[in-house]
Amino acid sequence: MSIGATMAGVDVRFAVEADPHAAATYRFNHPDVIVFQDDIRRLKDFSHLRFDDEVVVFGGPPCQGFSTSNQRTRSASNPNNWLFREFLRVVSEIGPDWVVFENVRGILETEHAFFVNLIKKCLENLGYTLSYTVLNAVDFGVPQRRLRLFVIGSRQGVQVPFPAPTCKKPVSVMEAIGDLPDLENGAAVDLMDYKSEPVSDYAYRMRGNKKIATNHLVTHNASYVVKRYSHIPPGGNWEDIPSRLMKNYADKSRCHTGIYRRLKLKEPSVVIGNYRKNMLVHPTQDRGLSVREAARLQSFPDWFRFMGSIGFQQQQVGNAVPPMLAEAVFRSVIDVSRGVKTRVAA
């Protein structure tokens, strides 16, 4: 979200990140931002924060418990599902002009929308006028069909209209990653030359003037897993794998549709999520996606580097809000903010 906010014109000053690997990534890519690397429940002192303009507090409290692919913990009994209260506490302490809250669409379905309704009620009690909707990242130039809920709060008493789709023709997987180097199963070379010139306007935007690409890390799969890949056509999944190669599954019929899903070159990607649960397959090569390929499908620019081991890098990419989607949301907030200032000045 910080990349999208920055691209829209927000001056990001302070961030909270408990995970040490994600915090290292954040510091590397946002060297001027103060990072509180700890549990947000320990964040008590805001006296060092100084603002000379309108303030926005934004974030996405842990969402795994709300995900539709995580049925076991989609309930009020999951303590992580209550961490949104800490987000609200920070909002109440700082009293920002604007609030942007993001989460998975599944929060609308968890406990009959109990959590999202409570969040809305709490923000309204703090004096915020709300607007909220579910947006699909593919409508904003992201080469991935990814639905996310956004709640925007304004202390100026105005509702922020959400951005209209900006992308008439979806960006395909080929347009997103076609210039990245070919890789082998278990590839572990961080820095590599691009395979070709940018294959699309999207790839050009992601690359900028970079000559060397980074984060070309691929999970090393056992030979029997690679053999499974060879049976999966574009758009196919575990159902295309012969039963004789799936004997380690006690009941393979319980596999969800995202397992062993091979992406289609000429269509946007399905949701980039937990690597180990989804096991997405490269559209033409018998391997999983590299960290950089997944980052491209999330709309991370190539200058953004991920820190930590491959597993932690994969987790960071899968958990992220697509920067280009976040940018569209923050541009709407800024446009309304400018309109409020203009009316006040008049």
Residue 313 lies in a domain: no
Beta-bridge mates of residue 288 = 281
Sign of CA dihedral 32, 123, 77, 249: negative
Read off the pLDDT of residues 55-109 as tens digits, 9 standing for 90 and up: 999 999 875 555 555 445 444 556 666 788 999 999 999 999 999 999 988 888 7
Residue 168 lies in a domain: no
Residue 247 lies in a domain: yes
pLDDT of residue 344 exceeding 60: no
CA distance 226 to 244: 14
Q: Which residue has the higher pLDDT, 339 or 146?
A: 146
12, 157: one domain: yes
| pTM over 0.85, yes/no | yes
Number of domains in the chain: 2
Q: What is the CATH number of the domain that holds 55?
A: 3.40.50.150
Spatial neighbors of 31 by CB under 8 A, at least 6 apart, are: none
208, 136: one domain: no
**Structural domain of 186:** 173-307
CA distance 117 to 108: 9
Average pLDDT, the chain: 91
218, 297: one domain: yes
Per-residue pLDDT averaged across 136-155, rounded? 97
- Supply the DSSP string of 224-251, one letter for each residue: HHHHHHTTPPTT--GGGS-GGG-TT-TT
Strands 34-36 and 98-104 turn out to be unpaired
Per-residue pLDDT averaged across 245-254, rounded? 78
End-to-end CA distance of the chain: 33
CA distance 150 to 266: 29
Catalytic residue annotation:
63
pLDDT of residue 52: 80
293, 257: one domain: yes
Residue 316 lies in a domain: no
Percent residues over pLDDT 90 in the chain: 77
- Mean pLDDT is lowest, of 42-56, 140-154, 190-204, for 42-56
Write the single-letter amino acid at 181: P
144, 8: one domain: yes
Read off the pLDDT of residues 190-216 as tens digits, 9 standing for 90 and up: 999 999 999 999 999 999 999 999 999
Residue 312 lies in a domain: no
Question: What are the strands, taking DSSP E only, across 34-171?
Answer: 34-36, 56-59, 98-104, 129-136, 147-154
Strands 34-36 and 212-213 turn out to be unpaired
pLDDT of residue 73: 47
